[in-house]
Amino acid sequence: MVASTSASLRIDSRKFPGYELPAPGAPGHRDGARVGLEKPLPEKVGIEASAQLRGKMATAGGGCVADPGSRSLLRLLSFCVLLAGLCEGNSVERKIYIPLNKTAPCVRLLNATHQIGCQSSITGDTGVIHVVEKEEDLQWVLTGGPNPPYVVLLEGALFTRDVMEKLKGRSGRIAGLAVSLAKPSPASGFSPSVQCPNDGFGIYSNSYGSQFAHCRAFQWNKCYRDHNLSPNGSAPAFPLCAMQLFSHMHAVVSTVTCMRRSLIQSSFSISPEIVCDPLSDYNVWSLLKPINTSGTLEPDDRVVVAATRLDSRSFFWNVAPGAESAVASFVTQLAAAEALQKAPDAATLPRNVMFVFFQGETFDYIGSSRMVYDMENGKFPVQLENIDSFVELGQVALRNSLELWMHTDPMSQKNETVLNQVEALLSTLEQSGAGVPTVVLRRLNQSQPLPPSSLQRFLRARNVSGVVLADHSDSFHNLYYQSIYDTAENINVTYPAGQSPEEDLNFVTDTAKALAGVATVLARALYRLAGGASFNDTIQADPHTVTRLLYGFLVRANNSWFQSILRPDLRSYLGDGPLQHYIAVSSPTNATYVVQYALANLTGKVIDLTREQCQDPSQVPTENKDLYEYTWVQGPLNANETDRLPRCVRSTARLARALSPAFELKQWGSTEYSTWTESRWKDIRARIFLIASKELEFITLIVGFGILVFSLIVTYCINAKADVLFITPREPGSVSY
């Protein structure tokens, strides 16, 4: 049979994306993909698939490893059902395997010196499923069970360091690990982060013991209960339910190694096999008053910076609900931006205000370190000298008794000038907070360092006077920091049952009201810091905006408001579940786009241009592309709900590249900048099936050999005696007795 595969291995031809901003109208570089997650993910392989999907795999035509060649030819001719039931191509495969769709794999991330994450062998790892619901069940897997290797199915609450330490190192008996989400979230908290996240440089952890892990509950239930459970703790009988996990990662050791290998490949190979990609995306930023972005500001122009982070992460790839770690903060800042823009004298304030949303802060401050680097090298319109003060929003959704803590850096305040500036900053904040009864601003008693925040990167470069607003005074209130359980429930965003999605969208939750209070304080403080005085008390953040944003980011992205603010070609980026906030390697991600367009909608203006003018405003004399960003958005549905009313939105919301300077400078072992990369892979999936006992397989083989040998012997004998056995009728004078 000719060995050609129909779904052949696709060669990756994706080039490294450039460092420039994406052109308006171009969605950035995306390839096809195939993961059954709610967030569409770009694929690493160049050839096919829709522009929506993203991921890093090339599927190799079904589950079978060997001899796929015959299958494609056979498919062509297999309309014939000659011997029904024996000639049915991949319907035999359907009788054997059940692919698991709703899973999230754990992938390998690398930094300058270490790797974290999970890995499988290249042919996948297979093991008999065993469910571990309490710690005692581990004994079966580790020592008692007679049919190793096992794939351990952990209940979510057991996915802890102690259990993993016990499983670590028993790779002979354990083929893999799958975790089912604990519902409700574990009460004692769950966070895969270390004690001190982003500690100066890095979340150092050794490569985690297990082979790899998937999460979420799936159809193992029936298969397991039917075949793997046996009474009285005796060994269950074959055939047993087993699972096979594929997540072979290409990158190893560290970023230095994998980037070096990728570089060698791309220099010398015709079809280079890149093994890892840097984590990168875009920061979103906007200004209260527009400036000419083709140049830089004068040193006299002062800017107040309001910053927050956009991203989060979890143990599993592309699952990063980040409700308290990121979403609440940036939603608050979006509401503050809207409120400030509505101030009547916003255009005439002495100092400008820049709202910036940093991407990649989870991974050693990718976005903020890049912005500082760009500012130092004049590649960003605002320079470090222009920064007057810096207000950052940390985690703000879990406030105890209305308290919002103001964290400052004690080290830089040793300088007298900075001390005074920070003092002024704090008093401005307190004055702004005085008018908002739902927020009580508190200073810290003792001198305490800053929590993990983007301000730290700015302070590394220059002594700016800055403050971080957070709901915690010392340790986090977030029990699920950067984990899969940091969802809407974690910040009490719940909706009454029985409502339609539209009603949920517009339902103002208590959390939304609380965050609106924080946004009001922030907006008023920024107004004062920017030099405004008269309209302080009229600035008010809208809880309605806050709740719509929270609903869209945490519950259901595909709602009417999000649909109306996006460009028409980005429509399908909104899934039916929440958006995920992992930075990933293809950019811009869905969440980044949605934040940019939400910012544009909330702070920009609808202007009367046609579509062509909007996409190229250089022809229009009154509009200036350097000052503003023009986008053609879908708009709301018309009255009959059949069509949309698109419009042109003019705003200052832009994207700025967030790729760690370490990759610009090719310093892959840098200790100064983030060096996080994500490994590439070809195939990530899981499937369950039954396996037969080794005895049965052996018997089959023996029977086969036996039949072969027997038929050889018989044929030889018959052949040797053929002239005796088969008398030809024409032979003259046959036997005559």
Partner 1 sequence: MTAAVFFGCAFIAFGPALALYIFTIVTEPLRIIFLIIGAFFWLVSLLFSSLIWFTTATLIGNKDEPREKYLLIFGVLISVLIQEMFRFAYYKLLKKASEGLKTINPYEKAPSMRLLAYVSGLGFGIMSGVFSFVNTLSDSLGPGTVGIHGDPPQFFLYSAFMTLVITLLHVFWGIVFFDGCEKKKWYTLLVVLLSHLLVSALTLISPHYGLNLVLAYIIMVLMGVWAFFVSGGSCRSLKLCLLCQDKDFLLFNQRAR
* Residue ranges binding partner 1 (CB under 8 A): 1, 63-68, 70-71, 74, 77-90, 92-93, 95-98, 124, 126, 223, 239, 241-242, 244, 687-692, 697-698, 700-705, 707-708, 711-712, 714-716, 719, 721, 724-729, 733, 735-736
Distance CA 467, CA 525 (A): 12
* Cβ 68 to partner 1 shortest distance, Å: 7
Burial profile 576-601: b = 16 or more Cβ within 10 angstroms, e = fewer = eebbbbbbbbbbbbbbbbbbbbbbbb
Distance CA 451, CA 203 (A): 15
* Cβ 223 to partner 1 shortest distance, Å: 6
- Reference 308, options 357, 353, 354; nearest CA is 357
User: How is residue 417 written in tokens?
Assistant: 């000038």
User: How is residue 60 written in tokens?
Assistant: 């190799």
Q: Which is nearer to partner 1, 157 or 691 (CB)?
A: 691
Three-state DSSP class for 582?
A: coil
- Reference 322, options 582, 35, 37; nearest CA is 582
* Cβ 284 to partner 1 shortest distance, Å: 46
> What's the helix, strand, coil split of the chain in %, to 5?
35, 15, 50
* Cβ 567 to partner 1 shortest distance, Å: 39
Q: Which is nearer to partner 1, 497 or 724 (CB)?
A: 724
SS (H, E, C) 101-164: CCCEECCCEECCCCEECCCCCCCCEEEEEEEECCHHHHHHHHHHCCCCCEEEEEEHHHCCHHHH
Q: Which is nearer to partner 1, 59 or 482 (CB)?
A: 59
* Cβ 209 to partner 1 shortest distance, Å: 23
Q: Which is nearer to partner 1, 204 or 698 (CB)?
A: 698
Amino acid (1-letter code) at residue 155:
E
SS (H, E, C) 389-449: EEEEECCCCCCCCCEEEEECCCCHHHCHHHHHHHHHHHHHHHHHHHCCCCCEEEECCCCCC
Q: Which is nearer to partner 1, 374 or 683 (CB)?
A: 683
Q: Which helix or strand (DSSP H or E) is residue 632 part of?
A: strand 629-633
Q: Which is nearer to partner 1, 244 or 677 (CB)?
A: 244
CB 152 within 8 A of CB 177: yes
* Cβ 228 to partner 1 shortest distance, Å: 12
* Cβ 178 to partner 1 shortest distance, Å: 16
* Cβ 40 to partner 1 shortest distance, Å: 29
Q: Which is nearer to partner 1, 102 or 721 (CB)?
A: 721
DSSP string, 12-31: P-PPPP-SSPPPTT------
Distance CA 602, CA 339 (A): 9
The phi and psi torsions of 304 (rounded to 5 degrees) equal -95, 125
Widest distance between CA atoms in the chain: 136
- Reference 37, options 709, 580, 676; nearest CA is 580
* Cβ 6 to partner 1 shortest distance, Å: 13
* Cβ 148 to partner 1 shortest distance, Å: 14
Q: Which is nearer to partner 1, 204 or 705 (CB)?
A: 705
Residues 6+ apart with CB under 8 A from 228: 128, 129, 130, 131, 236, 240, 241
* Cβ 59 to partner 1 shortest distance, Å: 15
SS (H, E, C) 513-568: HHHHHHHHHHHHHHHHHCCCCCCHHHCCCCHHHHHHHHHHHHCCCCCHHHHHHCCH
Amino acid (1-letter code) at residue 57:
M
* Cβ 712 to partner 1 shortest distance, Å: 4
Q: Which is nearer to partner 1, 196 or 235 (CB)?
A: 235
* Cβ 69 to partner 1 shortest distance, Å: 9
Q: Which is nearer to partner 1, 665 or 702 (CB)?
A: 702
Amino acid (1-letter code) at residue 647:
R
Q: Which is nearer to partner 1, 78 or 572 (CB)?
A: 78
Q: Which is nearer to partner 1, 90 or 257 (CB)?
A: 90
Burial profile 482-496: b = 16 or more Cβ within 10 angstroms, e = fewer = bbbbbbbbbbebebe
Three-state DSSP class for 178?
A: strand
Q: Which is nearer to partner 1, 264 or 699 (CB)?
A: 699
* Cβ 8 to partner 1 shortest distance, Å: 16
* Cβ 684 to partner 1 shortest distance, Å: 17
For 211, 414, 648, 650, the CA distances from 607, given in Å and listed in that order, are 55, 49, 6, 7
Three-state DSSP class for 237?
A: coil
User: How is residue 575 written in tokens?
Assistant: 């899934």
* Cβ 564 to partner 1 shortest distance, Å: 40
Q: Which is nearer to partner 1, 194 or 712 (CB)?
A: 712
Prior bond of 197 cis (ω within 30°):
no
DSSP-derived letter for residue 40 is -
* Cβ 582 to partner 1 shortest distance, Å: 31
* Cβ 155 to partner 1 shortest distance, Å: 23
Q: Which is nearer to partner 1, 464 or 688 (CB)?
A: 688
Q: Which is nearer to partner 1, 665 or 727 (CB)?
A: 727
Distance CA 157, CA 182 (A): 6
Q: Which is nearer to partner 1, 221 or 269 (CB)?
A: 221
Q: Which helix or strand (DSSP H or E) is residue 633 part of?
A: strand 629-633
Q: Which is nearer to partner 1, 11 or 96 (CB)?
A: 96
